[in-house]
Every structure is written in structure tokens, then in C-alpha cells.
Amino acid sequence: MVDAFAETLSAAQVGDEAAIACLWRQLQPALLRYLRAREPYAAEDVASETWLRAARNLRSFSGNEIEFRAWMFTLARHALIDWQRRGMRRPMSGAPFDGDCEFAAADDPAAETFEAFETEHVLAMIRRLPKTQAEVILLRVIAGLDTERVGEIVGKQPATVRVIQHRALRNLAEMLGVEVLSEQGVTR
């Protein structure tokens, strides 16, 4: 039995636009969030570059959905590294995500605006983490990859990834001002 993803992938590999659109809708938001957390002013451009690279190599890809996600985020990471290496600062097609009405949904604009604002706030917080910690958190949360695949992407052992993500969570907790002792009225 061939699963839905395999059918979609096969169709996309021969250039079927509906299948490509399906893949794009599934991955583009996550890619943008990942890239915005790393390089807010280049996220759109790097995401486009990522999709072009994927299109050029889509024929040679084989794997399941998780592997496809890992592959796409690997491409995004490489595209981002290339972009950072070139030091290009091209004008973006849009300003960094700022919670403007540009992305407001029709049914509940206020809620979506707030959500987007929240998302951008969290991304900004993650940007303040050390680079490796930020990358691990983004790949684990946004890309939805496990520690093994994240380790493959960032070039570290899964155990190391777990240590890094643990430290990252701790740092995030500190950033969010979660102070148990202060809530309990105890100050150090």
C-alpha cells in the first residue's frame, strides 16, 4: 500500500503542480519560522533558495515524510549558511514578521495577529540563545525532528543533542523569567 505522502512525492517529482503545492503548504511555514529565527531579514529569500535546491534534486530523493522534512531542513540550513557566507543583504520581499495585518486571517484577525506576535516573540527569544542551542530547539520544535535526525543535521551525536536541548530549555526558562523562588517569595 502506497501512503499519501509517497503518492504526493511521486507526483511532485514529475512536476505535478498540485502535489508541489501540497508539499509547499506543509513545509513552507515551518521553513520560514526556522529561518526567521536564524536570519529574520533573509528568511523569505533563503526559503526560496531552499525550494529551488529541492526542486533541482527532488528527482533523486527517496524516503518517507519525516526523511523529507529532515532533507528540506538540511537544505534550508545549507542555504542559510551559504547566504551568511556570502554576506548578502538583499532587500526582503517583506519586512520581518511584525504582526501586521498582512497575515490576518479572515475569521479571527485579532487572534491570528496575537498568535503571530507571540510566534515572533518566541522566535526572538530563541535567537538570543547560543547558536547551537537555537538550532537544536528550532529543528526539534519547528521541523519536528527527533534527536537522531537533528544530530545528523548539526553534526553531533544524539546524546549531545539531548544535552544541548536540555540547556536550551533551561536558558529559555530563565529568559521567560520563571523564577520559582521569586513566586514563592524567596530571593537569593
Binding another protein (rule: CB under 8 A), the pick from 7, 10, 59, 90 is: 59
Residues 6+ apart with CB under 8 A from 160: 151
**Beta carbon of residue 6, minimum distance to another protein (angstroms, whole number):** 17
117/11 Cα distance (integer angstroms): 36
Check binding of 181 to another protein (CB under 8 A): yes
* Binding of residue 63 to another protein (CB under 8 A): no
Closer to another protein by Cβ: residue 46 or 116? 116
50 close to 79: Cβ distance less than 8 angstroms: yes
Residue pair 149/66 in contact by the 8 Å Cβ criterion: yes
Other beta carbons within 10 angstroms of residue 168's beta carbon come to 21
72 binds another protein (CB under 8 A): no
Identified binder of another protein from the candidate list 3, 7, 10, 55, rule CB under 8 A: 55
Member of 129, 142, 149, 153 binding another protein (CB under 8 A): 142
CB 154 within 8 Å of CB 161: yes
Nearest to 40 by CA among 111, 105, 122: 122
Using CA atoms, how far apart are residues 83 and 48, in angstroms rounded to an integer? 12
Question: Exactly one of 3, 7, 10, 17 binds another protein (CB under 8 A); which one?
Answer: 17
Residue ranges binding another protein (CB under 8 A): 12-17, 20-21, 24-25, 28-29, 32-33, 48, 51-52, 54-56, 58-59, 93-94, 97, 102-105, 112, 115-116, 118-119, 121-123, 125, 137-138, 140-142, 144, 146-147, 162, 165-166, 169-170, 172-174, 176, 178-181, 186, 188
